[in-house]
Amino acid sequence: MKKIYKAHILYTKEKHRFEVLENGYVAVNADGRVAGVATDLASLADDDAEVTDFGDRLLIPAMNDLHVHAPQYRNQGIAMDLELLPWLQSYTFPEEVKFADVAYAERMYRRFVHDLWRFGTMRACVFATVHTESTRLLMRLFRETGMGALVGKVAMNRNCPQGLRESVEEMVQGYETLIEECGDRSEESLVRPIITPRFIPSCTSEMLRACGQLAAKYQLPVQSHLSENKDEIDWVQSLEKESTCYGDAYDRYGLFGQTPTVMAHCVWTEGEELALMKRRKVVVAHCPTSNFNVASGMAPIRQFLDEGLSVGLGSDISGGHDLNIFRMMVYAIQVSKMHYQKNFHLPFLSLSEAFWLATKSAGSSFGRVGSFEPGYEFDALVIDDSNLNFDNYSLLERLERYIYLGDDRQIVHRFCRGKMIKEPEFDRQ
C-alpha cells in the first residue's frame, strides 16, 4: 500500500539549490521508493493510500556517512594532538586488536550502530577490522536495525601489530565466507561487503592484488585511504616505487575505479592523481574534522566539484571526533572558507552544496539514495525544530539553524528504504 507523508519538505536535486515544498506531500510505494512529491494531495493519493501528517515539522533526506571506522568508536576525542602515523601506531591499532574478542566487538559495535541511528545516519560506508567473526557481527547488527551499510573486513599484512596481520589466504577466505553469507550483493541488499585494503603501507603487493581480484570476481565496491598526509604519501612512494602517484599504486592492482570506489581524504590529490580519479570515477569521502585533528590539511573540495568528481561527507571516527553528519556539513563549509582566504577566485561551499554532499551525492554510493525524486529510496528524517524556531523564519532558515544548532533530540522519526527505523534496543549491552 502506498504511504503519503505531509510536512515541510526540503531536499536537493542539484547541488546549487534546494527544492522546498511548504506543506508538501511525498508518496512512497510499497517497495520503499518515492512515487512522487507534490504540493497537493490529490495528485498523489490513491483510494487506499495511508496519509501521515507531520504538521509543522521538516522532512529531509537522511544522512549518509561515506567513511567511518566502527572499531575506533571508543577512541573518539582521544589523542587529538598526534599526527596520522603516530596516532595509528599508539592508539588506533591497539584498540583494533581487541576486536579479536567477539564479545568486546559486540559491546562496542552495538553502541556504534545506535549512535549512527541517533544522529540520523541511515547509510554508512564502514571499516571494520581484520577479524571475520567481528565483521560478520557488525553486518548482522546493521541488518537487525534495518539500516544500510557497506561493511569492509580490513585487509592488512604489514606495518601493523601481529594481532592485526593475516595471510593473503586468510583474508580471501574470510571475505568469501562473508560474501557467501551475504547472498545478494546488488544494491537491493541493504548490507553488503566492500573490499577494504586499509591503505598501501599496510598491504603487500600480494595482498593488494588479491583484494583487486576479489573486487573483480564478485563485482564488489572498494574503499581505502588516499593522499591524507604528506609523510604517508612519501611512504607509499618508497613502497611502490613503480607507481607514479598514490592513486596509481591502487590502480595497478585493480583498486581504483575498476569497480565503484570510495577514497577517503584526498587532501593532497592533484595533477596526475586527480586526472586518474576523474577517469576512473573514484568518489572522494571528505572528512574535515579528521583532516584537522590529525594535522593532514584541507582537502580542496571546491576544486574537486569544479573538476566533476563525486564527493560525499564522512565522519572518519575516530580521526574525526563527531559522528554527526550535520556537523560535517558545517565543518566542510568552514574548511572551504579557509580555502577561500587563500584563493579568492574559488567560492566557498554554499549550504545547499554541503547538504547535497551529505545526501544525494554521498547517497549515490548506496544506490538511488539521498533525494525525494521519483524512484529514489525513501531514506528520511523528520525534524521537530520548534525549540529552535522563531517567528518569520523561512523554511530554509529553519533548516540552516537546525544544521548549525540542532542535535539528535530534534530528530523525531527516521526512515530507511521506506521503513520507519525504531531506536535500537541494544546500545546498553
Top pLDDT among 270 and 295 is at 270
Per-residue pLDDT, averaged over 262-271, amounts to 97
CB atoms within 10 A of CB 162: 6
Is the distance from CB of 40 to CB of 25 less than 8 angstroms? yes
* DSSP bridge pairs for 4: 27, 51
pLDDT over threshold 70, residue 427: no
pLDDT over threshold 80, residue 223: yes
pLDDT at 60: 99
- List strand residue ranges (DSSP E) for 376-421, in order: 380-383, 411-416, 419-420
Is the distance from CB of 409 to CB of 422 less than 8 angstroms? no
pLDDT over threshold 80, residue 236: yes
Quote the mean pLDDT of the chain: 94
pLDDT over threshold 90, residue 428: no
pLDDT at 372: 98
Per-residue pLDDT, averaged over 151-163, amounts to 96
* Percentage of the chain exceeding pLDDT 70: 98
Q: Is 392 exposed, middle or buried (0-12, 13-18, 19+ CB in 10 A)?
A: exposed
Residue 52 CB contacts under 8 Å (≥ 6 apart), including other chains: 3, 4, 5, 6
3-class DSSP state of 208? helix
Per-residue pLDDT, averaged over 262-273, amounts to 97
Largest CA distance in the chain: 67
Is the distance from CB of 330 to CB of 345 less than 8 angstroms? no
Q: What is the DSSP letter of 377?
A: B
CB atoms within 10 A of CB 291: 25
pLDDT at 88: 86
User: 377-390 burial string, b = 16+ CB within 10 Å, else e?
Assistant: bbbbbbbbbeebee
Q: What is the DSSP letter of 29?
A: -
Per-residue pLDDT, averaged over 356-376, amounts to 98
CA atoms within 13 A on the CB side of 66: 36
pLDDT over threshold 50, residue 429: no
Q: pLDDT of 35-62, one tens digit each?
A: 999 999 988 977 788 999 999 999 999 9
pLDDT over threshold 60, residue 162: yes
pTM over 0.85: yes
Pairing of strands 50-61, 380-383: antiparallel
pLDDT at 426: 65
Per-residue pLDDT, averaged over 366-378, amounts to 98
Residue with cell 571475520: 132
Distance (Å, rounded) from C-alpha 263 to C-alpha 283?
6
pLDDT over threshold 90, residue 167: yes
Selection from 95, 119, 151 nearest residue 427 by Cα:
119
Per-residue pLDDT, averaged over 286-302, amounts to 93
Is the distance from CB of 39 to CB of 24 less than 8 angstroms? yes
Per-residue pLDDT, averaged over 91-95, amounts to 92
Q: What is the DSSP letter of 220?
A: -
3-class DSSP state of 76? coil
pLDDT over threshold 60, residue 250: yes
Pairing of strands 50-61, 121-127: unpaired
- When pLDDT is cut at 50, 70 and 90, the band that residue 233 belongs to is very high
Is the preceding omega at residue 318 within 30 degrees of 0, hence cis?
yes
Ranges 191-195, 218-222, 387-391: which has the least confidence = 387-391
pLDDT over threshold 90, residue 14: yes
Q: pLDDT of 72-82, one tens digit each?
A: 999 988 888 88
In angstroms, the first-to-last Cα distance of the chain is 36
CB atoms within 10 A of CB 185: 14
Q: What is the DSSP letter of 266?
A: -
Q: What is the DSSP letter of 412?
A: E
3-class DSSP state of 228? coil
Q: pLDDT of 339-351, one tens digit each?
A: 777 776 779 999 9
| Amino acid type, 400 | E
